[in-house]
Amino acid sequence: MIVVFDWDGTLVDSAGAIVCAMQQAARDVGLPPPTDDAVRFIIGLGLPEAVRHLYPQGDAAQWHALGQAYSRCYVEQTEQLPPLFPGALAALERLRADGFAVAVATGKSRRGLNRELAVRDMGHLFDLSRCADETRSKPHPLMLQEILADSGRHPREAVMVGDTLHDLQMAREAGVMEVAVSFGAHCRERLLDFGPDLLADDFCTILEWVYRIRADGCGRLQAR
């Protein structure tokens, strides 16, 4: 069985840093800064898709400039990396120790993810990872499909854990079980409306559910 985690807003408490960086980037390139809610909605998308969603009336030059400014602002604002959510590291270590395959599917760039994995010394915890700049952005299912193909897992043997509708839609289109976390970028009500297999408030709940799924031989449980 493979458990696939989103990064920002699921394992890492970075939504606030992303909001601040995007708002500063917009000011830097002469655009009106987006609202907090607008930025929180696009967390998880690839950067090109995110800036186009925020400024649909813009043009290619503006989108490129904003993307470049955001990347610079985010690195500047996260010299001290945002913290992992409580229980995240212990959950990853337990899953690996107990024979689960573990992967990351993220809207971050490959450079951004590698930076964080290296600084946090977490690369050994993941068998596979896919980033938005090397495949299709969420919510397209290709990112998950590639992880499944590389790991040799059937969709029924996989769980996607994420904090946004983009994660859940990607999982649903790939035929993968959907776990939403309530402490990330998208609010509980929005996630519940989508109807995931599980909405979890902490990593202990996720582990309990995943172990039960494995014991039952994989397959979907009724959504809570």
Q: What pLDDT, in 10s, does the model give residues 90-111?
A: 999 999 999 999 999 999 999 9
Domain count, the chain: 2
Residue pair 148/155 in contact by the 8 Å Cβ criterion: yes
Nearest-angstrom CA–CA distance, 112 and 191 = 26
Examine residue 220 and state whether it is found in any structural domain, yes or no.
no
On average, the pLDDT of the chain sits at 94
- Nearest alpha carbon to residue 11 among 89, 79, 75, 80: 89
Q: Catalytic one among 8, 163, 167, 197?
A: 8
Task: Give phi and psi for 107, each to the nearest 5.
Answer: -80, -5
Q: Are residues 140 and 50 part of one domain?
A: no
In the residue annotation, 8 being an active-site residue is answered as yes
Examine residue 194 and state whether it is found in any structural domain, yes or no.
yes
pTM: 0.92
Examine residue 223 and state whether it is found in any structural domain, yes or no.
no
Residue-wise pLDDT tens digits, 7-65 = 999 999 999 999 999 999 999 999 999 999 999 999 999 999 999 999 999 899 999 99
Picking from 62, 77, 92, the residue at the C-terminal end of a domain is 77
Q: Are residues 202 and 139 part of one domain?
A: yes
Q: Catalytic one among 6, 163, 167, 197?
A: 6
Tell me how crowded residue 20 is: count the other CB atoms within 10 A of its CB: 17
CATH value at residue 120:
3.40.50.1000
Classify residue 79 as exposed, middle or buried by CB count within 10 Å of its CB (0-12, 13-18, 19+): exposed
Q: Are residues 117 and 36 part of one domain?
A: no
Q: Are residues 55 and 8 part of one domain?
A: no
Q: Are residues 93 and 61 part of one domain?
A: no
Picking from 25, 60, 77, the residue at the C-terminal end of a domain is 77
Examine residue 222 and state whether it is found in any structural domain, yes or no.
no
Nearest-angstrom CA–CA distance, 85 and 160 = 17
Q: Are residues 19 and 8 part of one domain?
A: no
Nearest-angstrom CA–CA distance, 170 and 145 = 10
- Nearest alpha carbon to residue 48 among 129, 104, 132: 132
Q: The domain containing residue 41 runs over which residues?
A: 15-77
Q: Are residues 138 and 199 part of one domain?
A: yes
Examine residue 52 and state whether it is found in any structural domain, yes or no.
yes
Q: Are residues 48 and 23 part of one domain?
A: yes
